Amino acid sequence: MLSRAETAGRDWRVAPGFEAVASAFAESFAEYEDGGAAFAVVHEGRPVLDLWGGVVDVATRRPWRADTAQVIFSGTKGLVAVCMLILIERGKLALDEPVAGCWPEFAAEGKDGVLVRDIVAHTARLPGVRTPLAPTDLLEPARLARLLAAQPQERDPRSAFVYHGLTYGWLCGELVRRVDGRSIGRFFAEDVAAPLELEAWIGLPAEYEDRVATLRYGPGWGEHDAEIVAAVQLEEELAAAIMLNPPIFPPDDLRWNARAFHQAEIPGAGGIATARSMARLYGCLARGGELDGVRLLAPETVALGRTELSRGVDPLVGNPLAFGVGFQLQTERRRYGPPPDAFGHDGVGGSVHGAWPSQRLGFSYAMNELRGKPELGDPRIDPVLDALHDVVAR
């Protein structure tokens, strides 16, 4: 257990009125964290909380710093969602157009009726790659897009609505490349991160490598992994294609700490960012797409992004899920805090990033200790979001 001295940063930003939220973060951190974490909030266009603590690497006890960045896993899908919305606003994509209209090879195996809305809403029936993959194949998005274009949709009826954990990123990334010409990482860097001055990347430049926190498995992770393996042992073919082709989190190799995985463009899971930058992005979206004089999206495009396209219970893991244009929407799990209109995207292991439009607020929680069974909630961030809501909803 870390001491309070290790959880408190002398340079924390805590705006007047938000002291109770900082205290909730410190208390939750002292009780639950054995690694490092950061929490940031942008409210009404201004940063009001920028908190961090713990260590970047448990082995060396190197402290978490103000500029530490973190692999955000599926939080990357929120970055991709913004890119898709920009292209929709520019008229280069439309939700109701066939994917094959801009990606002809995708029509193979009868997929000519799949629409762009199916890709962003996790209803495309392509939740996994059927060709056997090695871990290094995750570093080749163009090849994975070709494999998905060539394979048929899943016939298992459960695949009508199932989380496309990695394939969402490869499918969206190829759509971006087809209609814009740039890779998803370059598009995000030039059209999103640069205008908003974000420290967030889909494909990390080498000069930032030493700022990335080292991931580690935490309590409950072995149980989570065992459940996946058990499903496959029961000949759960769909689960195997999604979760074990290739194994994403083998117990003896947390490959997401490798430089090769940091620099690769893995748009479903490989993004790296600081919490303050994720909060800034969602703070912009919570204000209708504008921040500090930068107009990222029109208000009506942001509204489209959080308009419900799909909702249900994921048949493989039992989680209630709802999606707009790539963003997760609020469900009974209250993953994004109390507001019913909250949206964003969380990441495996415990990170969560989102917007509260009614409060014009964006937040981000990022950490380097991965915890399992996210469907049960995460005690590390829930009390912090509750305390935040108590402050801004008065």
Q: What's the whole-number mean pLDDT along residues 131-142?
A: 95
Burial letters 142-162, b for 16+ CB under 10 A, else e: eebbbbbbebebbeeeebbbb
Q: What's the whole-number mean pLDDT along residues 325-344?
A: 97
Per the domain annotation, does 171 fall within a domain?
Answer: no
pLDDT over threshold 60, residue 65: yes
Asked if the peptide bond before residue 246 counts as cis, ω within 30 degrees of 0, the response is yes
pTM score over 0.85: yes
Q: Which pLDDT score, from 0 to 100, does residue 232 have?
A: 53
Per the domain annotation, does 172 fall within a domain?
Answer: no
Return the number of other C-beta atoms located less than 10 Å from residue 91's C-beta.
Answer: 8
Cβ atoms 330, 322 nearer than 8 A:
yes
Per the domain annotation, does 121 fall within a domain?
Answer: no
Per the domain annotation, does 89 fall within a domain?
Answer: no
Range of the domain at 251: 4-80+188-392
Q: Which pLDDT score, from 0 to 100, does residue 7 have?
A: 45
Per the domain annotation, does 138 fall within a domain?
Answer: no
What's 255's domain CATH number? 3.40.710.10
Per the domain annotation, does 174 fall within a domain?
Answer: no
Per the domain annotation, does 167 fall within a domain?
Answer: no
Enumerate residues 6+ apart whose C-beta is below 8 A from 344. Answer: 78, 282, 327, 328, 336, 352, 353, 354, 355
Which position among 3, 28, 74, 159 bears the catalytic label? Answer: 74
Q: How many separate domains does the chain show?
A: 1
Active site residue 74: yes
86-93: list long-range contacts, CB under 8 Å, 24+ apart.
86/191, 86/192, 86/296, 86/297, 87/175, 87/176, 87/179, 87/180, 88/301, 88/304, 88/325, 89/297, 89/298, 89/301, 92/179, 92/180, 93/175, 93/179
Q: Which pLDDT score, from 0 to 100, does residue 239 have?
A: 77
Per the domain annotation, does 110 fall within a domain?
Answer: no
